[in-house]
Structure 1
């Protein structure tokens, strides 16, 4: 244990100290999640802080920055890119303020550290449109104020003496938060963001002063068994549905103007960053509009829109042994998603100059109607490893097991991204990735089956065994009346479309046992095409067993109803029948009018 007087903090000490603080936060992740009731009881403050802070470890491990000024610049920039949630965005702005104050500083003495703290405190408070006391802001303010008081009274003292007093005062400020906000008082908990900041700085100070190192977190870490009673409001009490964020890159970005715009469309607004790069955070009901407005200030990236009502439902209802998550390539009815608590990671859609989150900032109906008038070729991109990691981290902090069901790995890298993310999770819950070998309606049926297993109390291992059987008995059939979009997307040569148009051919797509989506047959002519499609499906289905059928349509609801009638005539033992909108997995190449059918033998 250190005993010497510490007069300076160089880049090495600061780097190792902040790493120690981050490890402390990660180790307290579930504790912080359990007390998260403000501003929204979505149980993710611990997870968001971990996701915000952990990328900094790459900087601290590299040991390439030789001055605290350059180190803080790297830390602040990394936080802007990776910050999540209210507390993460506020921390990003706090470190941005510290960084701006520490330009050209090689190492901190107590006075320079105080100046840096004060600017960080000011930046953090200015980041919010409506600062609230009794939160992380209050504790940051108290940490800075206490350091200033101790410095003024003991100018000849070093960091050790000052920090010993500062941490006592800061801990008291955290405890006091439960008396400053009604929701914290009612739940008898401290503010989660405030607690997270204290844990971060306590770990930092413990290393600087005493050389005490936190154990590097692992997925096997243990958490406190006795946690405060959790009191969460009903999801109906959550004022806005989506926790929405994006990064804006540009020149001379007007943060004040951004805050003015965001104030009209939600609450919990945080605008953090520099004149060239901003992280905007808001709770809103209209993420798409927010993203469109932010594009006026520069290029946007890292868009995300988390459903807080669903998160609130998750933390209130943890009776299931595992959670189910799938990507938005799966087409599932809204009713099944809601009743079975299926989590969805959106695919990204690029249409001309506009970018969307599938089924979040653009609905299937809006997407296909846009295709009719927009000459730009739409493209889709799989969720990133980081997006999977963020969702996995959250779910694994609330469930013992998480089952991720991906679009077939034979046509997309989504499965690989989920597998990579699963290896990076530091939480108690286990992540299981599963290749649906299907897409669209078939993938959706497999996800629904898994979610029903979870709801009925089955464990993850027996569910995986059942899925291996049900996957073999699930097929996806697609009818593509217009090859225009498949040609534009490079999936079909122009010559094939030319021949199909001349001979009036309509291709039928079918999923194979090894997960490919291939053309199995062409229907000649357009007469009675839906009836012939129904006959083809029936011919390739084991009709002596019970069948679940789902139809997805690309703004072709009447065709979907007609096809349903034909299928009911051709197949006797239909257990359930569902109709929903077709998503982008096949729809981006099938275009308006496409019909996809998932058939599952049970």
Structure 2
């Protein structure tokens, strides 16, 4: 077909055709993915982004308005470096295109040229030999050809040759590509997009309009071995920020010092952020001042790499974020974390990942509506188990008490399909939380490190669970009332007499008030008596101390119990955000496991 002008419908179908072509190439793009991280997901990320365009973009009454719909769909659905760069490219086209019924070759070429600049400027440290190089080479060729060519079919045919040549030269510009003997995966994906767009321009045909992205087969994905991410910035973090009059340059300046691989894409209403950082919680705390974060994603690249190439055992150990165990021990034993969700002012955060306890303390007494929490979704649980099943023979999951959260049931359900496929998975209800759950997880990790079998570790975990207790000193019932853990009448009655309870967990995993006092000293003595009673029955193997912004008091606990028990605690740490939300600022807990 011959096109000297294209309208909104043509733009839409051209993009859909290009998107379909990228989706078809997903596995090959994954296979050759070595930059910026050899994680084999560039094809999947681009395919996800393209599928978002297919599913959510609409034909409008002009090319510009149609591009606006496509740009918004790309921004919301963008995944990974390549997806976000592509989204910014489309946003650039939208912002630079004139709003008229039909556009000619020169209009299209100029908007693409400007869009290339938008995409380039979105990246903090652009690297030549990648998608951005091919975009700019293709854009320059469009501008040169647009001076003499008036037909879109001819324009795309000639400019595609330039894009293919640029793609073939990417290994010359990037050593990691030369070493792997591949071209850049993101750049190749963009060339496939051009090919798909050209196919529509030539034929006017659209097939498989509603292609749905299929689930990634992690076992089939062949990834090149390159450890080329900075261990100082181990968390690949993404956010979608929504607001009014968003200033991309200002946001970029605010978060630029948090890591590397920073990319920002978007417009005044939505901004997509990608960054590799050591502190994802800092990123999400900073951007909350600009608008509402409607999407969050954080991946631990270090743990992903270990799972594929540097496993310490054939048994994967997973726990949820309610288990209070220091990051150093989580790293030492390669323990995988599945965070629960905490909802603050309509934004969903991942406990211990995109929000920290210290940041939460700043907000607790300022919020008009007290936060709420929820278990991980079934999709989140299935994702982590499926990824681990590709690299481990066995998986052990230890959850917060099923009486306190639906996390156990979600993970049990998520494990059912994998068990049908032959994966050995055991999901264990710890019947504990916080530091108590942490001690049970630590025992499992030590047993795995000692070479115990899958069945032996499970038996040891269940035995340790029965020998572990937790006692929490709660200085005020204000937060338990706010979180709904106790009723209003109970809280009023307790506060009248200034009651300071000691909270524990019974053998079924239910929270109970095991002691009551009218002062903090009395509360402390109650816990001391409970620990002494335990010591009469058996020797304490391990104990831990956790607290909610109460350094001075937890140090007093450490001094006292080190003398009483005869050894220092295994660890001292801040409690998880969700535990802090329920127990409140000032809470201190001791957890003990007996031999």
Pair 1:392-2:384 in alignment: yes
Conservation of the 8 A alpha-carbon contact between 2:13 and 2:206: no
Structure 1 residues 19-168: aligned runs within 5 Å:
19-24=19-24, 26-28=26-28, 30-31=30-31, 35-36=34-35, 38=36, 45=42, 48-49=45-46, 52-56=49-53, 58-59=55-56, 72-100=67-95, 114=109, 117-145=112-140, 155-156=150-151, 159=153
Give the deviation of 1:17 after TM superposition.
2.3
Give the deviation of 1:79 after TM superposition.
2.8
Q: 2:99 & 2:508 partners in 1: Cα distance?
A: 59
Which residue of 243, 253, 256 maps to 2:246?
253
**What residue is the counterpart of 2:477 in the other structure?**
483
After TM superposition, the structure 1 stretch with the greater mean CA deviation from structure 2, 213-222 or 332-341, is 213-222
**What residue is the counterpart of 1:342 in the other structure?**
335
After TM superposition, the structure 1 stretch with the greater mean CA deviation from structure 2, 69-78 or 269-278, is 69-78
**What residue is the counterpart of 1:179 in the other structure?**
172
Identify if the C-alpha distance between structure 1 residues 537 and 396 changes in structure 2 by more than 3 Å, giving closer, same or farther.
same
Query: Which whole-Å deviations, capped at 9, do the CAs of 1:7-45 have from their partners, x for residues lacking one?
Result: 977477446524523533543464255x13x2x667664
Q: 2:571 & 2:76 partners in 1: Cα distance?
A: 41
Give the deviation of 1:511 after TM superposition.
3.2
Identify if the C-alpha distance between structure 1 residues 68 and 275 changes in structure 2 by more than 3 Å, giving closer, same or farther.
same
Identify if the C-alpha distance between structure 1 residues 393 and 473 changes in structure 2 by more than 3 Å, giving closer, same or farther.
closer
**What residue is the counterpart of 1:596 in the other structure?**
589
After TM superposition, the structure 1 stretch with the greater mean CA deviation from structure 2, 15-24 or 123-132, is 15-24
Pair 1:443-2:440 in alignment: no
Which residue of 350, 371, 381 maps to 1:379?
371
Give the deviation of 1:253 after TM superposition.
2.8
Conservation of the 8 A alpha-carbon contact between 1:418 and 1:433: no
Conservation of the 8 A alpha-carbon contact between 1:552 and 1:560: no
Q: 2:422 & 2:142 partners in 1: Cα distance?
A: 39
Partner SS state of residue 169, structure 2: helix
Let me know the Cα RMSD of the aligned residues: 5.1
Conservation of the 8 A alpha-carbon contact between 2:472 and 2:589: yes
Aligned length: 581
Q: 2:257 & 2:491 partners in 1: Cα distance?
A: 48
Q: 1:412 & 1:105 partners in 2: Cα distance?
A: 55
Give the deviation of 1:339 after TM superposition.
0.6
**What residue is the counterpart of 1:270 in the other structure?**
263
Give the deviation of 1:124 after TM superposition.
1.4
Identify if the C-alpha distance between structure 1 residues 22 and 424 changes in structure 2 by more than 3 Å, giving closer, same or farther.
farther
Identify if the C-alpha distance between structure 1 residues 464 and 180 changes in structure 2 by more than 3 Å, giving closer, same or farther.
farther
Q: 1:331 & 1:277 partners in 2: Cα distance?
A: 35
Conservation of the 8 A alpha-carbon contact between 1:171 and 1:198: yes
Identify if the C-alpha distance between structure 1 residues 222 and 323 changes in structure 2 by more than 3 Å, giving closer, same or farther.
closer
Conservation of the 8 A alpha-carbon contact between 2:502 and 2:523: no
**What residue is the counterpart of 2:17 in the other structure?**
17
Partner SS state of residue 131, structure 1: coil
Q: 1:397 & 1:166 partners in 2: Cα distance?
A: 44
After TM superposition, the structure 1 stretch with the greater mean CA deviation from structure 2, 530-539 or 330-339, is 530-539
Which residue of 552, 576, 581 maps to 2:546?
552
Identify if the C-alpha distance between structure 1 residues 204 and 575 changes in structure 2 by more than 3 Å, giving closer, same or farther.
farther
Conservation of the 8 A alpha-carbon contact between 1:379 and 1:489: yes
Partner SS state of residue 399, structure 1: coil
Q: 2:50 & 2:493 partners in 1: Cα distance?
A: 56
TM-score normalised by L of structure 1: 0.74
After TM superposition, the structure 1 stretch with the greater mean CA deviation from structure 2, 360-369 or 582-591, is 360-369
Identify if the C-alpha distance between structure 1 residues 51 and 320 changes in structure 2 by more than 3 Å, giving closer, same or farther.
farther
Tell me, which stretches of 5 or more residues in structure 2 are unaligned? Answer: none
Q: 2:544 & 2:308 partners in 1: Cα distance?
A: 30
Conservation of the 8 A alpha-carbon contact between 2:340 and 2:351: yes
Give the deviation of 1:536 after TM superposition.
3.3
**What residue is the counterpart of 1:411 in the other structure?**
404
**What residue is the counterpart of 1:508 in the other structure?**
502
Query: Which whole-Å deviations, capped at 9, do the CAs of 1:226-261 have from their partners, x for residues lacking one?
Result: x54x2324855x5x4554443333333333333444
